[in-house]
Amino acid sequence: MAQTSHCMTIADDDPRYEELRSFINSHENKNGIAMTALQEAQNLFGYLPLEVHKFISKETGVPIAELYGVTTFYSQFNTEPRGKHQIQICMGTACYVKGAQKVLDKVSETLGVGVGMTTPDQLFTVNAARCLGCCGLSPVMMIDDEVYANLADVSEIPAILDRYREKAQ
Amino acid sequence: MTMQQACEQPTLGLKPITSVDDLNKMRDEWKAKLEKPAEIRVVVGMATCGISAGAVQVFEAFKSELKEHGLDHILLEKVGCIGMCVYEPIVDVFETGKEKVSYIHVNPEKVKQIVEQHLMGGKVCEELTLLQLDKKDDRGEICKRFEDLPFYRKQKRIVLHNCGYINPEDIREYIGVEGYQALAKVLTTMTPEETIELISASKLRGRGGAGFPTGMKWKFAARETADQKYVICNADEGDPGAFMDRSVLEGDPHAVLEALAIAGYAIGASQGWIYVRAEYPTAVKRLKLAISEAKALGLLGEKIFGTDFNFDIHIRLGAGAFVCGEETALIASIEGKRGMPRNKPPFPATKGLWGKPSIINNVETLANIPTIIRNGAEWFRTIGTEGSPGTKVFALGGKITNTGLVEVPMGTTLREVIEDIGGGCPGGKKFKAVQTGGPSGGCLTYEALDVPIDFDQLVALGSMMGSGGMIVMDEDNCMVDIARFFLDFTVDESCGQCVPCREGTKRMLETLDKITSGGAKEKDLQDLYDLAQNIKLTSLCALGQTAPNPVLSTMEHFMDEYRAHVIDKTCPSKVCKDLLGYYITEQCRGCTKCSRVCPAKAITGKVKEQHYIDQSLCIHCGACFSTCPFHAIERR
Amino acid sequence: MSEETKKVTITINNRELKADPDETVLQVAHRSGINIPHLCYLKDINEIAACRLCVAEVEVNGRPMRGLTATCVLKVQDGMKVKTNTKAVRKAVRYNLELILANHDMNCPTCVRNGTCELQKLADERGIEGVRFDGEKRPKTIDELSPSIVRDSSKCILCGRCVSTCEKVQGLGVLAFTNRGFNTEVGPAFNYSMRDVNCIYCGQCIEACPVAALHEHRYIEDIWDAIDDPEKVVIVQTAPAVRASLGEEFGYPIGTPVTGKMTAALHEMGFDYVFDTNFAADLTISEEANELLHRVTTGGVLPMITSCSPGWVRYCEMYHPDFLPNLSTCKSPQNMMGAIIKSYFAKVKGIDPKKIVVVSVMPCTSKKTEASREELEVDGLRDVDYSLTTRELGDMIKQAGLDFDQLEDAVPDSVLGDYTGAAVIFGTTGGVMEAALRTAADVLTGEDLPSFEYKAVRGMEGIKQASVTVPIGGVPTEVKVVVCSTVKNAGAVLNAVRDGKLSCHFIEVMACPGGCIHGGGQSYVSSTERMTVDPRPARANALYSEDERQVLRKSHQNPELIELIDKFLGAPNSEVAHKYLHTHYHKRPFYVQKAVGECEE
């Protein structure tokens, strides 16, 4: 069977664990803390590897598998490290009817990776977003916090992505 | 520009409000400030859509320009969304005794001009206002203000009333527009029973989906006895294409807090929860800020207005699961679990959050509450239809000229919304259908355009209100593809718990894939229909029960399109690429561009001679089509 | 108000039925002889209404409920009208069954659950002749790394019974729903193997599983191979609880004791020697009772806790390592038996112990992992080579072509064949405690006490407390004992002991609810049967009745045991006894990361 190998990428004495512990302990009522703790952990570590699940399990008493069930239920959680830049292509209805699929295809084609994947240089992770709430500007793509609007003409996309590549060099 | 920059921490240091008198004093002071500003008041629309269009830079530019010119007396404020996404960033200038001036498509350069010419020189920069669009209203007069536009004239703003007017990051401005008066009224002059009676009499129905009477929901929870009860605000707006809740939270967060407190008083709960999408960072920040302000003023917390009523509000963030908009899934998610719905009954009113009686109302429903309490049930019933009083906010999107948020009285026809307010399909394209209710709803066609819309009418037409997404489609949209799009969404968002939804929607999607790729047989259409009916009939929660609606309603109205895909193997709207062939016409000049971009090397031809596409090699990517400078490639 | 007026009246398929207000429609229908199909429902454990097979047309107050309603969670209401056999219902059940089957590995004839599968049974009853969907299936994961439990995702129907069982019964949460929608799976985190996670292998999940998504790691072929091998001396031992359930494999009512037939079958199948683990149970008591007395009189670590349940031992190693010194160092009866067979018995019979293959038949899946524990061997010889479940034995008897019903009762072979009534009751919660008290009381008083039934420790409650007064060093002393079953309850007891809220001398823990009689290796009891029958008291009674039929009912009175001590061990807890019969424990981490060096990419 396939058992993912998980490398120790976060040291046991990483100070962020202490931060996470005090976050969890700051909640008087531990009822329902699991998801909030995972959210905070993802803020701190950027992703949720096994060792973070183990830590939260120990602090909250929620079994590891149950935590993992929560992690894999919600699309915002990820168990693998992500790219430096998060590309969110809005696939909301308003964007879809105005050509969001083409935007997604173009981004995938340009970067050579599909939805949910990270480029080999760890620069970009491509995500399909449900609705970014900028329906008036559709179709829309967001890179980190930056919004790129009215992308019906997808030929602009490679140049946009190139700018991030240049910045990284 | 970042979303983070859009919010700032308040430094209020105000004296708590412990009586209605205190509240009235503050109201009078701030009412005057808003209505008759002693100095000029400049407001920048800073909801997500505005921010996306560059409103933060505009705000910062104003700040530095005003500082540079020593214009400290001018009041610069951020406000929520006024609903006209296409014109963002939008800046309004208020001056006592003068008409409001609205600037559109503002950027930092234009800010400089506005500050120097208008704010300092007193001369309106007309070319930066609506006038630049040269729009005429239905009487043929040029529109100068938003209010002149047909987009606004047919609207009635109750829910969105304060959005775009008050600063959502300053509780005093909310108090200045009668904020917290409704809470004061119920706490000091009404019993919980009377409060519920008033809401019941208003016939307010839940804006989040099926339109369940709000008063009845409250009554069910109120009659339960329990040591703890909860009121929950469902702000997990997940319909792709609907963003009215976000707009309310970003533009008028205190209305939601006030309503939650009123609901808490009515059912006997001292705890409120707001479950809000994490994808709405601005809304979350403003909510948190609003809660801390309300607590600081004593409008949340213990002994509110000196009464025995205590009420506290907590926020829980969603993490990207559409199903959490379903109330029992939302409860599971607040409890920190996978957002898997629970079978009803028991309903949350008897067994909800942590097993305690709970009510769940959505943002738009709650935003109606304070106004109803202040103005009375009868007033509310004068708006809208008899069965569905009040207004409804729609997020108008898709193939429509004026995309944005519109609030209209129930009973307005689709035609008024789409043609008068929305300005019809752009580019002279022919209207084909409008999808309401998101992935749970259905599509309505030309024939339905003159039906007055309310909860019951939409259901009768085979769709539903949902949260109010309204996506317009024109002749270029393939309805099978649209149905496939929604199914793809539900398959992805199904929680995976019950069999019909988890397994059935996937099989429906596979059938639709077969149809749109030309592999389906006629029998597949009947199987698809039967399967859809079964999912509707037997799914555990509303997500599954309504998931087949987009397919069933497109099958009802556009069977000819389905049959074209299945029998003729063509896509009449030329969307489904597996069914399209690309052909080079005589317009070809032999420039060779197409053969160079073709990834499948399917195009051959000599320079300056007509090229040819080998259909057996073509992968239908459309690269040649969009590259050809002579429009010599056609799809058919 | 009389009982009768509290009842409500409902109508199911035109039949008027009286019901308690807290009953569900499914329960009322079932006890009234109306079958409603169901797959995810497991009484008191899994009530999530997910399979949508128990749907019906329901009318309340004259108004039809929307769509079809799941009856497993629908509480009755006065005047409710339910229809379970309409065209719409039949069609819906068929559709949903087909949808389940479309994503199920339908190799029924080659499946371990062929014949006991609840899905197969329903498909048969509903006349499913074909499945009209042929799309994608979930990716297949078959995890066979654990010696105890195999997880096969291609069989899983995502009913969630195992998830709820692990969480509610054991409080462990080893299994969870992961991913979402069509990609939903049930398994441990990060797709880890059952071998490497916080599983105690109690197998309650297997008992709950309606299909073969979770089943024991089977060793039947290895056993046949060993039997066929003329070089091997294959010796089988059967645990006390097996006899209370094996009959169910052959259609006997739950709780029919079949000791004699079982022994006969084992002889016929070709095992060279047939023993009863009961002998080792008596031996365990002899060792354990003496260990307890030793601890009490010498100020050793107390409370002492039993160690015969391997699921419990593993739990203690994983979650409460601070209590490891409290665990009795006695091996479990399974391993004591194996160690004695390969030493004393081999010597007596003049057999080369290397040629001996010890097979145990256990009501348990955790015993398989216990048998593989590194330290459970003596002089390089494994105590136990293979451990089978009751179900595997049932299958082997069928494979051997034996008509179980016609077998004449037989008795175990000599030298290690005797056992007392005290050993038989080892198979139920409280049984080890009662057996130990019978011996301890006699040893301390130096008498053969006529009153030796300790009913306070009997019964199916999860945690039981009792105290007995016995003379220790001539002083009448109150000995406090606690008996618990399930590790969830054990955890609660340990926490109470650690916090000083509970003090006692001796704790018996069995990992399965009700003890071994309800172990994860016992015969399947379907969810439908579980609605009306609790298999535990019936199986426990089978053991108590056999106890009552025994002449000797105290472990220390077992004649062959006395001979063993006399000829081989010298005395209880002697040096020889320690070599063969005692063991040690260690802290056991789970979900252990691979070392950094192993992660080069």
- b/e code C350-378 from CB counts within 10 Å (16+ = b): ebebeebbbbbbbbbbbbbbbbbbeebeb
With vertex at residue C444, the alpha carbon angle to CA C438 and CA C446, rounded to the nearest 5 degrees, is 90
Kindly state the greatest CA–CA separation across chain B: 89
Distance CA A30, CA A67 (A): 14
- Is B495 in the C-facing interface, judged by CB distances under 8 Å? yes
CATH class for the region spanning B3-153: alpha beta
Active site residue C51: no
Q: Is the pLDDT of residue C264 over 70?
A: yes
Q: What is the ipTM of this complex?
A: 0.92
Average pLDDT on B397-415 reads 90
Q: Is the pLDDT of residue B252 over 90?
A: yes
CATH architecture type of domain C103-216: 2-Layer Sandwich (3.30)
Q: Does residue B6 contact residue B78 with C-beta atoms inside 8 Å?
A: yes
User: Is domain B490-568 annotated with CATH 1.20.1440.230?
Assistant: yes
- Is A69 in the C-facing interface, judged by CB distances under 8 Å? yes
- Which tens digit of pLDDT belongs to each residue from C559-599? 999 999 999 999 999 999 999 999 999 999 999 855 444 44
- Is B406 in the A-facing interface, judged by CB distances under 8 Å? no
Q: Is the pLDDT of residue C398 over 90?
A: yes
Helices and strands (DSSP H and E) totals, chain C: 21, 21
3 state SS of B74: coil
Distant-in-sequence, close-in-space partners of B96: CB < 8 Å, separation ≥ 6: B36, B37, B38
Mean pLDDT computed over every residue of chain C: 94
Within 10 angstroms of residue C159's Cβ, the number of other Cβ atoms is: 29
Nearest to residue B617, comparing CAs of B597, B633, B601? B601
3 state SS of C425: helix
Chains near B, with 3+ CB pairs < 8 A? A, C
Average pLDDT on C141-150 reads 96
**Angle at which helices C390-399 and C220-228 cross, to 10°:** 50
Residue A29 is predicted with a pLDDT of 78
Q: Is the pLDDT of residue B42 over 80?
A: yes
Q: Does residue A129 contact residue A91 with C-beta atoms inside 8 Å?
A: yes
**Of residues A7, A63, A79, nearest to C173 (C-beta):** A63
Residue C593 is predicted with a pLDDT of 56
Q: Is the pLDDT of residue B87 over 90?
A: no
Per-residue pLDDT band at B626 (split at 50, 70, 90): confident
CATH number of this structure's domain C3-98 = 3.10.20.740
DSSP characters for B313-378? EEEEE--S-GGGGSHHHHHHHHTTS------SSSPTTTS-GGGS-EEEEEHHHHHHHHHHHHH-HH
Active-site hit among C185, C287, C288, C392:
C288
Structure tokens at B149: 């536009």
Phi, psi for C368 (deg, rounded to 5): -65, -40
Partners of B48 on chain A (C-beta within 8 Å) are 132-134
Structure tokens at B613: 């596409």
CATH number of this structure's domain C220-581 = 3.40.50.1780
Average pLDDT on B321-340 reads 95
Active-site hit among C249, C291, C392, C546:
C291
3 state SS of B613: strand
**Range(s) within chain B of domains with CATH label 3.10.20.600:** 391-474
Active site residue C140: no
Least CA distance to C170: which residue of chain A?
A63
Least CA distance to B51: which residue of chain A?
A147
Which among C142, C174, C192 is the top mutation candidate for probing chain A, defined by the most A β-carbons within 10 Å of its own β-carbon?
A: C192
CATH class for the region spanning B581-635: alpha beta
Per-residue pLDDT band at A30 (split at 50, 70, 90): confident
8 Å CB contact of B506 and C182? yes
Q: Which domains does chain A have, with CATH numbers?
A: 15-73 (no CATH), 85-168 (3.40.30.10)
3 state SS of C552: coil
Active site residue C375: yes
**Angle at which helices B522-538 and C87-102 cross, to 10°:** 110
Least CA distance to A65: which residue of chain C?
C189
Least CA distance to C50: which residue of chain B?
B498
C386-389 and C15-19 strand pairing? unpaired
8 Å CB contact of A134 and B435? no
**Of residues C51, C70, C135, nearest to B506 (C-beta):** C135
Provide the shortest C-alpha distance from residue B52 to chain A (in Å): 6
Q: Does residue B584 contact residue B625 with C-beta atoms inside 8 Å?
A: no
Q: Which CATH number fits domain B391-474: 3.10.20.600, 3.50.30.10, 3.40.190.10, 3.30.420.40?
A: 3.10.20.600
Residue A73 is predicted with a pLDDT of 97
Report the share of chain B in percent with pLDDT over 90.
Answer: 66
Q: Is the pLDDT of residue B16 over 60?
A: yes
- Is A1 in the C-facing interface, judged by CB distances under 8 Å? yes
**Of residues B4, B49, B485, nearest to A133 (C-beta):** B49
- Is A146 in the B-facing interface, judged by CB distances under 8 Å? yes
Structure tokens at A153: 């003409």
CA distances from C457 to C136, C454, C507 (A): 53, 6, 11
Q: Is the pLDDT of residue C601 over 50?
A: no
Distance CA B445, CA B434 (A): 6
Residue B10 is predicted with a pLDDT of 47
Per-residue pLDDT band at C324 (split at 50, 70, 90): very high
**Range(s) within chain C of domains with CATH label 3.40.50.1780:** 220-581
Active site residue C370: yes
Residue C4 is predicted with a pLDDT of 57
Active site residue C32: no
Residue B616 is predicted with a pLDDT of 85
Active-site hit among C81, C367, C488, C554:
C367
**Range(s) within chain B of domains with CATH label 3.30.70.20:** 581-635
Active site residue C221: no
Residue C564 is predicted with a pLDDT of 95
Q: Does residue A3 contact residue C192 with C-beta atoms inside 8 Å?
A: yes
Partners of A75 on chain B (C-beta within 8 Å) are 319-321
Q: Is the pLDDT of residue B3 over 50?
A: no
Chain B, chain C: beta-carbon pairs less than 8 Å apart: 101
Distant-in-sequence, close-in-space partners of A133: CB < 8 Å, separation ≥ 6: B48, B49, B243, B246, B279, B280
Active-site hit among C40, C111, C159, C308:
C308
Provide the shortest C-alpha distance from residue B507 to chain C (in Å): 7
Which among C101, C133, C157 is the top mutation candidate for probing chain B, defined by the most B β-carbons within 10 Å of its own β-carbon?
A: C133
Active-site hit among C245, C328, C485, C523:
C328
CA distances from A118 to A80, A81, A125, C251, C330 (A): 10, 9, 4, 57, 54
Which strands, in side-by-side order, build the sheet including B442-445? B404-409, B391-398, B469-474, B431-436, B442-445
8 Å CB contact of A92 and B240? yes
Distant-in-sequence, close-in-space partners of A145: CB < 8 Å, separation ≥ 6: B1, B2, B3, B4
8 Å CB contact of B343 and C132? no
Active site residue C317: no
**Of residues A75, A131, A146, nearest to B240 (C-beta):** A131
- Which tens digit of pLDDT belongs to each residue from B463-517? 888 888 888 999 999 999 999 989 999 999 999 999 999 999 999 999 999 999 9
Provide the shortest C-alpha distance from residue A113 to chain C (in Å): 20
Upper half-sphere CA count for residue B63 (Cβ side, 13 Å): 9
- The length of chain A is 169
Partners of C183 on chain B (C-beta within 8 Å) are 496
Distance CA A30, CA C226 (A): 55
Structure tokens at C185: 């799976």
Q: Which of B281-285, B460-464, C537-541 has the lowest mean pLDDT?
A: B460-464
Q: How far is CA B569 from the centre of its chain?
A: 37
- b/e code A51-68 from CB counts within 10 Å (16+ = b): bbbbbbbebbebbbbbbb
- Is A159 in the B-facing interface, judged by CB distances under 8 Å? no
**Range(s) within chain B of domains with CATH label 1.20.1440.230:** 490-568
Residue B12 is predicted with a pLDDT of 57
Average pLDDT on B598-626 reads 87
8 Å CB contact of C181 and B496? yes
**Range(s) within chain C of domains with CATH label 3.30.70.20:** 103-216
3 state SS of B293: helix
- Is B240 in the A-facing interface, judged by CB distances under 8 Å? yes
Residue C2 is predicted with a pLDDT of 54
Provide the shortest C-alpha distance from residue A134 to chain C (in Å): 27
- CATH domain B215-368 topology: Rossmann fold (3.40.50)
Q: Does residue B232 contact residue B358 with C-beta atoms inside 8 Å?
A: yes
Residue C391 is predicted with a pLDDT of 98
Q: Is the pLDDT of residue C45 over 60?
A: yes
